[in-house]
Structure formats: C-alpha cells, structure tokens
Amino acid sequence: MVSGGTQGVGAAVARTAAACGAEGVVVTGRRPEVAESLIDELDLLGTQPLFVRADVSDVSQALESVASAVEEFGRVDCVVNAAGLVDRGSLLDTTPELFDRHVAINLRGPFFIMQAAVKDMLRRDAPGTIVNVITLTQHAGQPFLAPYAAAKGGLATLTRNAAHAHRWDRIRINGLNIGWTATEGEDRIQRSYHGAGDGWLDEAAARLPAGRLADPAQIADMVVYLLSDASGIVTGSVIDWDQNVIGALD
C-alpha cells in the first residue's frame, strides 16, 4: 500500500513493487482521475491494483485507506508513506493554517496509517515492513521550508520510535531522506513559488554534482529493497539518499 501513490515517487514505488511481483498494490490519493492511467499500468504489470480515494490529512480517511486494503486483500504486508506537502513557509510568514496542514499531511497522516497497518500485522501475528519517504530537509533545510522541516523531522523520529517499539513483532520500519527530485509536484512548486520557466529543470540539474535531480524510479528501487526480505534485518534506519553530504561544507 502506497499513500500518495498516484504520481511522483509514490507512483514509481507502486510500479516497481508490481514489477517485482507484488500480488496486489494499493495506491491512495485525492484525485481518481490522476490514478486511472496508473491503475491500468499496474494491471498490465500483472498485479491486482486497487485505488482508494483518501486525503491523509483527514485521520478517518487515513485509517479507512488501510481498512480498504485489508478488506480487499485480507492483509497488508508492506506500507509506504509517500504522500507529502512541500508548500513554502518560513518561520516568520508561516500561518497557523499552513503549519497545521504540514503536520496533518507530513506527520499525523503517516502516524495513523502506520498505526492501522501495525494493528493488522499484530492481529495476524505476521511480519511486515514500512518505509516512510521523508526528506533531507528534516536535518534543517532552507529557511523557506520551516513547517516542512518541522513535520518531517517528527516523521524521522517517529520512524525510529515505531521501529524500536515493534522490532520483537518482526515489523521492520525504515525511512528514506530523499533530496531534490524531478517529479510533477516539484515542477508545480518551482513554477508556483519560485517563478520557474520551462527550462528550470535543466538549469537546476547543471548546478548539481550528478548533473541531474534524483530520479523517482531509482528512489523506488531503494524503497522496494527496504520493503523486501533482501534488506535483511535492518530496521529503524533513516537513510540519507542524495548527492549532497549532510554536515559537509566547501
């Protein structure tokens, strides 16, 4: 099950999971029209796809999304919290409404999705895996990402806390701090908040060590690896996945 799975990193995870043999893939999101083509893709990849309309900022919908997955498949084995809000705000100009929305989408929603999924795993006395898509920004981030950094920092700590709490239940929980990634959502952000034009992606890529932004498909490979038995016993890890090195200065 992938929250925020209809586009960007979430959709890439859904595709990769299907290609790697997942029996069923549940994607959640707010817009059914965006999900249609992805559901068709997943079907062609040989998995049983399910779209659940859900806004993770609404706790009842977050919980119901897990319940829908369990109702359809009888269980949920793997969960990816990929839904996120990256709207800009600094310490000085963030409104209480924007702050609350960041917390609702980037922290509270994942919290209760994890809660519902872990309860299902415990009910069945079954192992499971969870990966939270976090962000390099949780270490500190730019001044215009203050509420985002605060909420995602909470998610990083929650990841470790939950992993510790449920390690004896054979439920592994890890996180991935992704950096600047080329997604549909990032294109919207750059145009809406930074006045970017059509060539912004090439210009941004030229300023980075690898000469490109992160690729959602490669992030998906890492997420599915962490979900799978191939990642062994690792739990409670929050991995920096970027071309910049935290703490290093030129």
Contact yes or no for 3/82 (Cβ under 8 A): yes
Query: Do residues 3 and 214 make contact, with C-beta atoms less than 8 angstroms apart?
Result: no
Q: Of 51, 148, 180, 241, which residue is the catalytic one?
A: 148
Contact present, 177 and 134 (Cβ < 8 Å): yes
Taking the C-alpha atoms of residue 103 and residue 178, their distance in angstroms, rounded to an integer, is 18
For 23, counting Cβ atoms within 10 Å of its Cβ (0-12 exposed, 13-18 middle, 19+ buried), the class is exposed
Phi, psi at 133, each rounded to 5°: -80, 110
193 is catalytic: no
Count CB neighbours of 19 within 10 A.
Answer: 15
Q: Show Cβ contacts of residue 34 under 8 Å, excluding neighbours closer than 6 positions.
A: 6, 7
Residues acting as catalytic residues? 148
